[in-house]
């Protein structure tokens, strides 16, 4: 890595405004493209995590006094610093996560957009006045920050998942303890360097690294932490919810998905293929809104498959730092093993492999690469249609009628994102209502933006991130009733 500003790569945790270096307690972070060491992160002790919570509570007393406009100024400077340092931040991300540099750079811009957006929203934590039911009363509702919040983030978007949680919390006047994913701590820590430079006071944001289970337990049992916002697997989300019951915390859970992508006979096929590429293969298929199941109507099935094959055959798999790479490695060997198992199971059960692009340019055997693959004749009963693939594999099922497509799409415990391609406006309206998902892309494959509420239903979790809904997740409504008014 050749960073313009080497200070951005910190092998340390960040607690109460101070850097806590590795002290013979380092966990190594590996570059998934080549197996090389990126750096080490410290394994904090339980007492250190508890100290971080105390310091966040102390910082909260001060931070909540700042006006929205003052908080906005810090968030704005922080966003600008991210954009100024986008090349370095992208390099750090590609080294630890694997995605191609252009995608990493795109994520930095997206991540900065949450700082900008929520900085602007910080000025708009409006309350209400309510007409009194009795003479002499005056009723108002004011919005107040929750207090200390915890954020637990995944490795697939090492910066954007951080700012999507931290920005609204800080904008609302809360303070935050962040536990980044162990695979990608350096992107989060680089953001702390920039937050400090932007003038974020000590203790408003701390980053704790180390044993996930221990940190999760400390967060859940702490009476000071008012909310946990988590993005990750459904299994861990459920265990956090159970453990947080003891202190009755607020939760936002953004968990697994099983996104359907439905292409009807009347679809614009060029648009459908473009949407399929964006929503299936971005980040090598490792996003929670990635298509998991393609349903294609009989009349266009073969043509859609042919066009998708032609487009996917142009992908170039390799190290995300290499010129021209469009698909990087999966996050680690375990991820490759899981995708390999799901594909083998599908083939055994009768699916047909249409395409497996050789890992052109993929360096040696040390990287965790998986070739982009297209499967047809996938049946809903196959594991690949029921579990989150999290890899560059398009699993395609043919269908006959709209009713059948909706039933297939809804036949899952998950409910995060769904995609529909049709040019029939009446069908669009039916599907908007009929699909049991928190997010629906109609003739659109890229649905993530800071201005809209991202979040699922069913076992994909609850709580919204982004937009004005996202700020509200970090605010309490306090009702005040004055009596005896003149
Ligand atoms: P994945 O399998 O995609 O890594 P996880 O749900 O395991 O998804 O991880 C998402 C985040 O949750 C990571 O930051 C991880 O360290 C954290 N995590 C994993 N297990 C626990 C746990 N028991 N308590 C709290 N956080 C956890």
* Chain segment 208-240, per-residue pLDDT in tens: 999 999 999 999 999 999 999 999 999 999 999
- pLDDT tens readout for residues 124-177: 999 999 999 999 999 999 999 999 999 999 999 999 999 999 999 999 999 999
Give the residue whose CA is nearest to atom 11 of ligand 1. 154
Decide if 144 contacts 172 (C-beta within 8 A). no
Q: How far is the CA of 48 from the centre of ligand 1 (A)?
A: 20
Q: How far is the CA of 230 from the centre of ligand 1 (A)?
A: 9
Using CB distances shorter than 6 Å, the residues near ligand 1 are 152-154, 179, 181-182, 212-213, 216, 232-233, 236, 239
Rounded to 5°, the CA angle 465-470-472 comes to 150
What is the DSSP-derived secondary structure letter of residue 157? S
Q: Within 13 Å of residue 65, how many CA atoms lie on the same side as its CB?
A: 5
Q: Which of 254, 450, 459, 473 is catalytic?
A: 254
CA torsion sign, 400 to 401 to 405 to 411?
negative
Q: How far is the CA of 154 from the centre of ligand 1 (A)?
A: 7
- pLDDT tens readout for residues 96-134: 999 999 999 999 999 999 999 999 999 999 999 999 999
Query: At residue 359, does pLDDT exceed 60?
Result: no
Q: How many Å apart are CA 470 and CA 417, to the nearest integer?
A: 17
Q: How far is the CA of 118 from the centre of ligand 1 (A)?
A: 26
pLDDT at 364: 54
Rg (CA), the chain: 23
What is the DSSP-derived secondary structure letter of residue 210? S
Q: Among 168, 257, 209, which Cα is nearest to 44's?
A: 209
Q: How far is the CA of 181 from the centre of ligand 1 (A)?
A: 7
Query: At residue 29, does pLDDT exceed 80?
Result: yes
356 confidence band (pLDDT: 50, 70, 90): low
Give the residue whose CA is nearest to atom 14 of ligand 1. 181
pLDDT at 358: 56
Q: Which residues, including other chains, have CB under 8 Å from residue 357's CB and lie 6 or more apart? A: 312, 313, 315, 317, 371, 372, 373
pLDDT at 365: 60
- pLDDT tens readout for residues 396-411: 999 999 999 999 999 9
Q: What is the mean pLDDT of the chain?
A: 96
Q: What is the mean pLDDT of residues 433-454?
A: 98
| The ligand 1 atom nearest the CA atom of 152 | 14
Q: How many Å apart are CA 363 and CA 33, to the nearest integer?
A: 8
Site to probe by mutation for ligand 1, drawn from 181, 242, 288, 387 as the one with most ligand atoms within 8 Å of Cβ, is 181
| The ligand 1 atom nearest the CA atom of 233 | 6
| The ligand 1 atom nearest the CA atom of 181 | 14
Q: Is 428 a catalytic residue?
A: no
Q: What is the mean pLDDT of residues 247-261?
A: 98
Give the residue whose CA is nearest to atom 9 of ligand 1. 232
Q: How many Å apart are CA 71 and CA 61, to the nearest integer?
A: 14
Give the residue whose CA is nearest to atom 2 of ligand 1. 233
357 confidence band (pLDDT: 50, 70, 90): low
Query: What is the DSSP secondary-structure string of 429-465?
Result: HHHHHHS--SEEEES-S----TTS-B--EETTEE--B
Q: Is 288 a catalytic residue?
A: yes
Q: What is the mean pLDDT of residues 432-454?
A: 98
State percent of the chain over pLDDT 90. 97
Decide if 423 contacts 300 (C-beta within 8 A). no
């Amino acid at each position: 890595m050749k960073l313009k500003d080497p200070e951005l790569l910190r092998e340390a945790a960040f607690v109460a405004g101070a850097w806590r270096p590795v002290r013979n307690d380092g966990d190594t972070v590996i570059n998934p493209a080549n197996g090389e060491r990126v750096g080490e992160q410290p394994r904090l002790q339980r007492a250190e995590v508890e100290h971080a919570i105390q310091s966040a509570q102390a910082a909260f007393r001060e931070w909540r006094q700042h006006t929205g406009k003052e908080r906005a100024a810090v968030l704005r400077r922080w966003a600008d610093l991210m954009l100024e340092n986008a090349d370095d931040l992208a390099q750090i991300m590609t080294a630890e996560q694997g995605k191609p540099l252009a995608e990493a750079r795109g994520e930095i811009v997206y991540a900065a957009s949450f700082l900008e957006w929520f900085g602007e929203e910080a000025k708009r934590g409006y309350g209400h006045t309510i007409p009194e039911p009795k003479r002499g009363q005056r009723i108002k509702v004011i919005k107040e920050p929750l207090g200390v919040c915890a954020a637990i983030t995944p490795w697939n978007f090492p910066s954007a998942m951080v700012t999507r949680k931290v920005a609204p919390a800080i904008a609302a006047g809360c303070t935050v303890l962040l536990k980044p994913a162990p695979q990608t701590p350096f992107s989060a820590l680089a953001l702390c360097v920039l937050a400090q430079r932007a003038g974020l006071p000590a203790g408003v944001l701390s980053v704790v690294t180390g044993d996930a289970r221990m940190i999760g337990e400390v967060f859940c049992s702490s009476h000071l932490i008012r909310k946990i916002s988590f993005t990750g697997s459904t299994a861990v989300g459920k265990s956090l919810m159970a453990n947080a019951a003891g202190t009755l915390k607020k939760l936002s859970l953004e968990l697994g998905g099983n996104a359907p992508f439905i292409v009807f006979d009347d679809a614009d096929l060029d648009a459908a293929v473009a949407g399929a590429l964006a929503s299936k293969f971005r980040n090598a298929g490792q996003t929670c809104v990635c298509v998991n199941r393609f349903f294609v109507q009989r009349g266009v099935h073969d043509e859609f498959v042919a066009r998708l094959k032609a487009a996917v055959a142009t992908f170039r798999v390799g190290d995300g730092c290499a010129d021209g790479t469009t698909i990087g490695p999966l996050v680690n060997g375990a991820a490759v093993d899981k995708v390999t198992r799901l594909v083998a199971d599908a083939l055994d059960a009768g699916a047909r492999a249409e395409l497996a692009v050789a890992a052109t340019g993929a360096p040696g055997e040390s990287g965790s690469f998986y070739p982009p693959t297209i499967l047809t004749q996938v049946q809903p009963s196959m594991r690949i249609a029921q579990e989150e693939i999290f890899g560059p594999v398009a699993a395609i099922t043919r269908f006959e009628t709209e009713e059948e497509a909706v039933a297939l799409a809804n036949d899952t415990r998950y409910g995060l994102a769904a995609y529909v391609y049709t040019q029939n406006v009446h069908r669009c309206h039916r599907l908007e209502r009929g699909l049991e998902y928190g997010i629906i892309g109609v003739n659109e494959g890229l649905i993530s933006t800071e201005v809209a509420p991202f979040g699922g239903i069913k076992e994909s979790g609850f709580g919204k991130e982004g937009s004005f809904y996202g700020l509200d997740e970090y605010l309490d409504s306090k009702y005040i009733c004055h009596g005896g008014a003149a």
